[in-house]
Structure 1
Amino acid sequence: MSIAHLLEDFTLQSGGGKLHLLDEDALEEQRLASFEQGYSAGWEDAVQAQEQSRGQVSAELAKSLEDMSFTYHEAVTRMSLSLEPMFNSLVNVVLPETLESGFATRLVEQLVDMARDQLGQPMQIFVPIGRAGEVEAMVPQDLSAPTQVIEDPALEAGQARLQVGTSQREVDCSGLLASVAGAFDAYVFEAKEAANDE
């Protein structure tokens, strides 16, 4: 038995089937239409793939920026905390020694500045106990008026009061040092808080 009855018959039948032949122009139009349809479908696929790729790249970039931001802030926080011993030695040792060594010089500079405005007026420098000799040695001998250096027990280390005629100024290096120490303490406190929040 043959299997011919299972297969489709493509032979031309003389009575009922029509064979439709296309001329060259119609065939070209059909090719162009098929090409245009394929081109449009390919273009749409490419645009869709590009949008998906752009979305993926954007998401990856956002994630990378977020990771970098976190890493940067973490690094800054850790660096700030590692600087705490240096800040402590700076505030407790270096700055006090620097202010102490420059105290007399600073007083004389202020006094000379005040004397320019009030020529010929008596000048007085009030200093803490034990600092008079150092300050007297720094006072220029060619000032226009006599200068007195007076030790005042009410003044603490790093403090002084200058008077030229009726004009007065106060110098408070210890207050400056306390202000700097407070700023460093606040900075370290904020760094510790930021480290605890992570």
Structure 2
Amino acid sequence: MSIAHLLEDFTLQAGGGKLHLLDEDALEEQRLAAFEQGYSAGWEDAVQAQEQSRGQVSDGLARSLEDMSFTYHEAVARMTLSLEPMFQSLVNAVLPETLDRGFAAQLAEQLIEMAREQIGQPMQIFVPKGRAAEVEALLPQELSSPTRVVEDPAMEPGQARLQVGTTQREVDCSGLLASVAGAFDAYVFEAKEAVNHE
């Protein structure tokens, strides 16, 4: 027994054949449709690949910027730490000497300003022990009232009190120096913390 009856017959039969022939226009339409379909699929693949590439570039750029930012902050922190000896020398040697040299001149300048506001009033300058002669030497001779320079043993170096009539002013160079030193110490401390938390 043959199994031919189970298989489909593809032979051409006269009159009602199963073969369908396309004319040139129909064939061209099928070609154009296949081209359009292939072109659309290729375009979609290209757009998807471009979006994926953009995403990778954006991620890479974000990582690079983050690394640069971290590197910049790390460099600033390390540079600050390398400047610590200079800061210490400024605070401990240069600034105190500069303030000490300008102490008497600053007192004379402020006294003149106060004397302009209260003409004819008695003037007194209270200075730390050992500074009276230096301050007296810098006082201008043309002051309208006599000026007394009084050494006060309770005053610390860098401190003074000016009094014209009832008006008083405190001068505290050592306090200024302490606040500058505190600011430098805080800055260096923050830089050390930044380096330790890398």
If the length of structure 2 is used for normalisation, what is the TM-score? 0.89
Shift of 1:100: 0.5
Q: Secondary structure at the match of 1:160?
A: strand
The unaligned stretches of length 5 or more in structure 1 are 1-9
- TM-superposition CA deviations, 1:63-112 (whole Å, max 9, x none): 11121122111111111111110010000000001000100111011111
CA distance in structure 1 between the partners assigned to 2:196 and 2:53 by the alignment:
38
Shift of 1:19: 4.2
Aligned equivalent of 2:50: 50
Shift of 1:18: 4.6
CA distance in structure 2 between the partners assigned to 1:195 and 1:61 by the alignment:
25
The unaligned stretches of length 5 or more in structure 2 are 1-9
Give the 5 Å matches for 1:31-42: 31-42=31-42
Shift of 1:140: 0.8
CA distance in structure 2 between the partners assigned to 1:170 and 1:42 by the alignment:
84
CA distance in structure 2 between the partners assigned to 1:36 and 1:156 by the alignment:
94
CA distance in structure 2 between the partners assigned to 1:94 and 1:144 by the alignment:
36
CA distance in structure 2 between the partners assigned to 1:148 and 1:35 by the alignment:
107
Aligned equivalent of 2:176: 176
Aligned-partner residue type, residue 83 of structure 1:
L
CA distance in structure 1 between the partners assigned to 2:17 and 2:71 by the alignment:
78
The answer to whether residue 25 in structure 2 is matched with residue 28 in structure 1 is: no
The answer to whether residue 129 in structure 2 is matched with residue 129 in structure 1 is: yes
Give the 5 Å matches for 1:85-100: 85-100=85-100
Larger deviation, residues 19-28 vs 37-46: 19-28
Aligned equivalent of 1:141: 141
2:162/2:168 contact within 8 Å kept: yes
Aligned equivalent of 1:108: 108
Q: Secondary structure at the match of 1:149?
A: strand
Larger deviation, residues 51-60 vs 81-90: 51-60
Q: Secondary structure at the match of 1:90?
A: helix
Aligned equivalent of 1:156: 156
Aligned-partner residue type, residue 13 of structure 1:
L
Shift of 1:45: 0.2
Shift of 1:20: 3.1
Aligned equivalent of 2:12: 13
Shift of 1:49: 0.2
